Amino acid sequence: MIKLSYQKQLKTTDGFFELSIDLDIPKGAFICLYGPSGAGKTSFLRILAGLLAPDKGSILVNDIPWYHSDKKIGLSPQKRNIGYVFQDYALFPNMTVQENLKFAQRKGQTKDLIPELMEVMELSQLANRTPDTLSGGQKQRAALARALVQQPDILLLDEPLAALDAQISTKLQDYILNAHRDYSLTTILVSHDLGEIMKLTDTVVVMEQGRITKSGRPQEIFMNRQLSGKFQFTGTILSIEKQDVIYVVTVLIYNTIIKVVADATEIQELRNGDSVVVASKAFNPVIYKIPERS
Amino acid sequence: MNWEPLLLTFELALTTTIALLLVSIPLAYWLSKTTSRIKPVIETLVSMPLVLPPTVLGFYFLVAFSPNNAFGEWLNSWLGLQLVFSFGGLVVASMIYSLPFMVQPIQAGLASLPASLSEAAAVMGKSRNITLFKVLLPNIKKSLLTGIVLAFAHTVGEFGVVLMIGGNIPGRTRVASIAIYDEVEALNYEAANFYSLTLFAITFGMLLLVYLINGGYLKRFWK
């Protein structure tokens, strides 16, 4: 159980804003931080990892204070057993994939997870390659494996799949989900990808301007609750065309382009580039807009 | 031909470079990390030898190290160090004189590495020292090589500082650059030419090697 309650003044290009967090994260949860860029999501991860210190408040993990401003406690990142997959992966360029994993091993660690992780993440072929010779997906796998070597209790993922194409990221989502279950992790993911969020996480925490504005199950946050859809997909509107009395909306869902028929009232709040859910309601698919991120 | 001044020159350059490397790595690391307000002051001090005439440095060293005043006497009585007109004094003065040539490339190299590398190592429970020696320094080999060679070559090329603080004692402080000046004054052009040509050839070779290595021409030998 992670109990967060802290404030931190953050400097941005538009001046200062306050990150103010009150959140309990149950053990074994898979949480997504969702919100516009500059909302403080990465700072949230950095504070939990100990790379950034809050101004006041407390961070309790299993009732052990990692940070407590009144008691003057601030555990260094070295002492918080956390796996962190950075946005740029942060693989060490001077080491091969295997050496990267080996470096992550803790002193006195009894169980050597490296062979298992190399196998599961399909890194065996790449063991002796250096990071600069790897593709984005391979780097991501190596970074994920490296973060798990030290058998962390908490796994932090900072938009790890943002730079990858849909096919590879689908596969990596499976790796992440399996790791989360197999190693009974508490995982916190920063993501903008609705498909990814729906697939992986059990709770979405929406952040805006340094504050948590909403939290709940992904379906509650992103979808109309009354909807009893047989199937539903999220995608992006490519174009809206008028044909006689109806409109044809072209939507990109992963790498598939589909056309959905909509009427004049439905079309009113839709624009090109909007994120939408396409769902079937009884017989005909309906289309409506997902509430904006920003 | 008398090889003594040339050997002394390279002995001085080698000693200075090794000592300077040991001092510069922590200093450059601190400068690349710190947010302290005195950072600009320290950076300025490190860079001063670039702009000051070597004679200014030499003059103040001479005054500071002289056994006739407090600091020089303290060095002499407590540490048994006589830094004026001695090889030890040359090494100390050369270290200060070549400091920016070693510190600046290493600092720039460390600053160019993404912060996430040290952060990733910290999250893995690694201490700062392990991170520095296993992760940061191995990724700035080019900068280290540049710093080492520049500091070495710059020490070889010293004249003013050495003349002021070392004088011209054969076998102890009479390095090649001083010997050249000496021989020219004595109108002994043949000996001056020997020293000069040797220095020219060796320093040319060294710098060429750096450019070849850092330019990737010798990639097979340096990774």
Q: Does A103 touch chain B (CB under 8 A)?
A: yes
* Residue range(s) defining the domain that contains residue B87: 4-221
Most A-contacting residue of B117, B118, B119, B124 (CB-CB within 10 A), to test interface: B124
- pLDDT tens digits, one per residue of B92-134: 999 999 999 999 999 999 999 999 999 999 999 999 999 999 9
Q: Does A188 touch chain B (CB under 8 A)?
A: no
Inter-chain residue contact B126 with A84, CB threshold 8 Å: no
Closest-CA residue of B relative to A148 is B124
Average pLDDT over residues B196-211: 90
Q: Does the pLDDT at position A246 exceed 60?
A: yes
Query: pLDDT value at position B123?
Result: 94
Average pLDDT over residues A231-235: 77
pLDDT band at A101 (very low <50, low <70, confident <90, very high): very high
Q: Does A150 touch chain B (CB under 8 A)?
A: yes
Count of A–B CB contacts within 8 Å? 55
Average pLDDT over residues A103-123: 86
pTM for this predicted structure: 0.81
Q: Does A94 touch chain B (CB under 8 A)?
A: yes
- pLDDT tens digits, one per residue of A38-81: 889 999 999 999 999 999 999 999 999 999 999 999 999 999 99
Inter-chain residue contact B139 with A94, CB threshold 8 Å: yes
- Give how far A49 is from chain B: nearest CA, Å: 7
CA dihedral angle for residue B7, residue B11, residue B13, residue B14, rounded to 10 degrees: 130
Query: pLDDT value at position A224?
Result: 55
Look up the CATH number of the domain holding residue B163.
Answer: 1.10.3720.10
% of residues, chain A, pLDDT over 70: 94
- pLDDT tens digits, one per residue of A167-222: 777 888 888 999 899 889 999 999 888 878 888 999 999 998 889 998 988 888 87
Average pLDDT over residues B72-95: 84
**B14 or A193, greater pLDDT:** B14
Q: Does B123 touch chain A (CB under 8 A)?
A: yes
What are the sequence ranges of the domains in chain A? 2-222, 232-289
Q: Does A132 touch chain B (CB under 8 A)?
A: no
The shortest CB-CB distance from A77 to any of B114, B122, B138 is to B122
Q: Does domain A2-222 have CATH number 2.60.120.380?
A: no
Q: Does A75 touch chain B (CB under 8 A)?
A: no
Q: How many domains in chain B?
A: 1
For the segment(s) A232-289, the CATH number from 3.40.50.150, 3.90.1150.10, 2.40.50.100, 3.30.420.40 is 2.40.50.100
Average pLDDT over residues B184-188: 92
Query: pLDDT value at position A293?
Result: 57
Q: Does the pLDDT at position A242 exceed 90?
A: no
Residue A93 corresponds to which tokens in the numbers above? 């360029």
Inter-chain residue contact B120 with A90, CB threshold 8 Å: yes
Q: Which residues of A touch B125 (CB under 8 A)?
A: 78-79, 81, 106-107, 150
Average pLDDT over residues A112-135: 91
**B109 or A264, greater pLDDT:** B109
Complex ipTM, two decimals? 0.81
Inter-chain residue contact A90 with B114, CB threshold 8 Å: yes
Query: pLDDT value at position A268?
Result: 84
DSSP assignment of B108-153, as one string?
Answer: HHHHHS-HHHHHHHHHTT--HHHIIIIIIGGGGHHHHHHHHHHHHH
Average pLDDT over residues B140-163: 91
Q: Does the pLDDT at position B59 exceed 60?
A: yes
Closest-CA residue of A relative to B124 is A104
**A230 or B80, greater pLDDT:** B80
Q: Does the pLDDT at position B18 exceed 70?
A: yes
